[in-house]
Amino acid sequence: MDHVLTTLLSGCADDRSGKPRSGEPKDKREAIRLRNRRAIIAAAGELATELGTDRVTVNELAARAGVSRRTIFNHFPSAQDAVFEYLSELVAGLIDGVLRDLPEPMTPKGTTAATSDVSLGDVYRQLIGSLRTHTLIKELQPVFSVDLQDTPAASLWGFRVTRTAVDRLNEVLRERLPQHSSFETHLVATTLINSFAECLDEWVARTGGELDKRGRRIWDELLTTALGVLGRGFDS
């Protein structure tokens, strides 16, 4: 899990040092506000990893981020909301990583994008290939301690992350499959993301979130089953 935090927090390395970062706004107050927010999110990720997402307190968060309690509440309604923001950035980064590894869309010579013979099945198989190259089950472990039915904030976070994933995938599908309507590509994106979420839920139920040899085998079986069922449906 350390490599996940290292990746996510690399953009926050200077947050508590007071050093300026490239691309920061010239307005000093806005720059301080953004640095504080990054520091809070980074601290929330560290504490969630150490203590669990439901055990992070405002006092601990303020101390770790090097800010006051008041500053915490200027950015987030609660410590839990800061943790959810950290988890959202984590999930969004993983989604973008999978999509970034897709091969560049190709248009056959002599055709336009609208008449391209690239099929939904072709794009689906590209997505499978990209998913297979990522150890998502390991990288998503910080998320498993969140009970999405436990609080309204957690439920809202789950909805927001799912919506973000669907929207990002739909953008890619629209780019690669212009011959399909936005309604069709959105249906496919929703089906894929929800199926992946079902795999995660089933994996946690069977393994308790333990990523040992058995856990990896079960994850591979679940993902293979889900992708196989969906793939047959798309090509039929």
Give me the domains of the chain, ranges plus CATH numbers. Answer: 2-76 (1.10.10.60), 80-235 (1.10.357)
Going residue by residue through the chain, which has 236 residues, state the pLDDT in tens, using 9 for 90 and above. 434 333 344 444 344 444 445 455 568 888 999 999 999 999 998 898 888 777 899 999 999 999 999 999 999 999 988 988 888 888 778 778 877 777 776 555 544 444 456 777 778 778 777 777 766 666 676 665 555 545 666 677 777 778 888 888 888 888 888 888 889 889 888 988 888 888 888 988 898 878 788 988 898 898 888 878 877 765 54
User: pLDDT tens digits for 142-155?
Assistant: 665 555 545 666 67
C-alpha 207/C-alpha 107 separation (Å) is 43
Q: Which residue has the tokens 């039929």?
A: 236
CA distances from 83 to 45, 92, 120, 228 (A): 6, 14, 36, 34
Cα–Cα dist 157/171, whole Å: 21
**pTM value > 0.85:** no
Nearest to 145 by CA among 212, 215, 213, 200: 200
Which three-class secondary structure state does DSSP give residue 104?
A: coil
- Residue 103 burial class via C-beta count within 10 angstroms: exposed 0-12, middle 13-18, buried 19 and up: exposed
pLDDT in tens, 149-206: 456 666 777 777 788 888 888 888 888 888 888 898 898 889 888 888 888 889 888 9
